[in-house]
């Protein structure tokens, strides 16, 4: 039996054009693309050879046509796993990756990408929350995007599958919670409210016996002595050293250099989860990892920040106008 349908692999300009031609010829077309959106390389170009036409001017109408064509079914953010059968009757196994977005409901408002999470910033050119998917590797499951979606689209919110949302685990009583508990420590810390986060660090950092193992083992710690050995900052001979000042200074010092190799945690005789600090600091400025510095007024805190921070302050994302209104 010959099936009257075609599978096109790759949603670049070639894939889109082929799909459109085939669809117009009356074939049912499945267009599979591994990234979240079709468009491919051409979408990244400015002008095209040899006519110097604007690339997007050619591509955009085709992309829209492909997405709305009754004969084309877009399968984005998916990859081919297995192809079997023979000419005229192929069986293809497609792996559709989770985006945690319900495409039937998504209005494309883009609100989910606009919210600012505790000063979320770009890290090495990679934006933490991507346009139409949640990157499982980067997500710390704060739940802010869900909240933005819910608030924007009250009736039909699209981000439905964020399983570890902050509200779920911090605001709802246990019996009403759904989904899995957060898995990594950094996720759990990110989900904590301000008070429990502070209590958590208080408890963990109080274990410190000031052996300087975290500092000595650190491959990117290049400072000689510095504030950790300065009586102005850290009282000598005190155990535990000022919580969390000691760890904040250490963390600030290596904020941009840390590769999260974990040697600090490995070297800690008291098993303080130091890796979590650095994991969080990749996504958040150090001061918000700890939420607040107990016992320090704003001025001193600012002084501390200025004194120990080597790299320029990370630019915070400008919140959208609407978002400000919401807050």
The residues that touch other proteins, with contacts defined as CB under 8 A, are 206-207, 209-213, 216, 229, 236-237, 239-240, 266-271
Rg over CA atoms, the chain: 25
Tokens of 258: 């840390």
**Secondary structure (DSSP) of 113-180:** HH--STT---BTTB-SS-SSS--TTT-----HHHHHHHHH-SSS-S-----S-HHHHHTS-GGG--SP
> From the CB of 128, what's the least distance to other proteins, in Å?
31
Question: In the complex, what is the shortest distance from the CB of residue 276 to other proteins, in angstroms, rounded to a whole number?
Answer: 15
Please state the closest distance from residue 206 (CB atom) to other proteins, in A: 6
Nearest residue (CB) to other proteins, 160 versus 196 = 196
* Least Å from the CB of residue 177 to other proteins: 23
Q: Which of 278, 284, 279, 280 is nearest to 314 (CA)?
A: 284
Residue 172 to residues 122, 176, 257, Cα–Cα distance (Å): 31, 6, 38
CB within 8 Å of 183: residues ≥ 6 apart: none
Whichever of 162 and 208 has its CB closer to other proteins, that residue is: 208
> Minimal distance in Å, beta carbon 86 to other proteins?
57
- Cis preceding-peptide flag for 117 (omega within 30 of 0): no
- In this complex, which beta carbon is closest to other proteins, that of residue 126 or of residue 230? 230
Nearest to 107 by CA among 175, 154, 177: 154
Q: Which is nearer to other proteins, 231 or 321 (CB)?
A: 231
Tell me how far, at minimum, the Cβ of 305 lies from other proteins, in Å.
26
Q: 292: Cβ–Cβ under 8 A, 6 or more apart, which residues?
A: 194, 198
**In the complex with other proteins, which residue's Cβ is closer, 259 or 270?**
270
Which of 15, 56, 58 lies closest to 35 in space, CA to CA?
15
What are the beta bridge partners of residue 79? 95
Ramachandran area for residue 94 (φ above 0: left; ψ -120 to 50: alpha; else beta):
beta
Taking 3-state DSSP, the helix, strand and coil percentages for the chain, each rounded to the nearest 5, stand at: 40, 10, 50
Q: Which two tokens stand for residue 34?
A: 């591994």
Closest distance between other proteins and the C-beta of residue 212, in Å? Answer: 6
Cα gap 164→167, rounded to integer Å: 9
Pick 137 or 225: Cβ nearer other proteins: 225
Q: Which is nearer to other proteins, 132 or 243 (CB)?
A: 243
How far apart are CB 216 and other proteins at their closest, in Å?
A: 6
Nearest distance in Å: CB 274, other proteins: 12
Spatial separation of the C-alpha atoms in residues 32 and 17, rounded to whole Å: 13
Q: Of 257 and 270, which has the nearer Cβ to other proteins?
A: 270
Using the minimum distance from each CB to other proteins, give the nearer residue, 263 or 308.
263
């Amino acid at each position: 039996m010959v099936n009257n349908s075609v599978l096109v692999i790759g949603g670049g300009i070639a894939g889109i054009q082929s799909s459109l031609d085939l669809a117009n010829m009356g074939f049912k077309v499945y267009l599979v693309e591994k990234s979240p959106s079709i468009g491919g390389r051409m979408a990244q170009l400015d002008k095209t050879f040899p006519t110097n036409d604007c690339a997007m001017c050619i591509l955009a109408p085709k992309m829209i046509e492909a997405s709305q064509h009754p004969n084309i079914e877009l399968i984005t953010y998916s990859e081919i796993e297995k192809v079997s059968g023979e000419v005229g009757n192929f069986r293809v196994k497609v792996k559709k990756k989770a985006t945690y977005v319900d495409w039937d409901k998504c209005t494309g408002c883009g609100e989910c990408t606009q919210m600012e999470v505790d000063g979320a910033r770009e890290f090495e050119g990679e934006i933490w929350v991507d346009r139409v998917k949640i990157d499982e590797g980067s997500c710390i499951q704060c739940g802010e995007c869900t909240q933005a979606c819910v608030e924007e689209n009250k009736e039909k919110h699209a981000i439905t599958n964020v399983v570890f949302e902050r509200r779920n685990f911090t605001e709802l009583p246990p019996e009403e919670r759904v989904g899995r508990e957060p898995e990594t420590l950094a996720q759990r810390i990110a989900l904590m409210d301000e008070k429990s986060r502070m209590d958590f660090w208080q408890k963990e950092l109080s274990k410190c016996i000031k052996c300087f193992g975290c500092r000595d083992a650190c491959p990117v710690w290049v400072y000689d002595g510095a504030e950790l050995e300065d009586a102005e900052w850290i009282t000598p001979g005190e155990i535990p050293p000022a919580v969390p000042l000691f760890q904040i200074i250490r963390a600030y010092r290596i904020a941009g250099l840390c590769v999260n190799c974990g040697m600090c945690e490995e070297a800690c005789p008291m098993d303080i989860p130091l890796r979590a600090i650095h994991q969080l600091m990749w996504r958040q400025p150090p001061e918000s990892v700890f939420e607040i510095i107990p016992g320090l007024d704003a001025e001193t805190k600012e002084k501390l920040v200025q004194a120990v921070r080597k790299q320029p302050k990370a630019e915070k994302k400008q919140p959208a106008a609407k978002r400000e209104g919401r807050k």
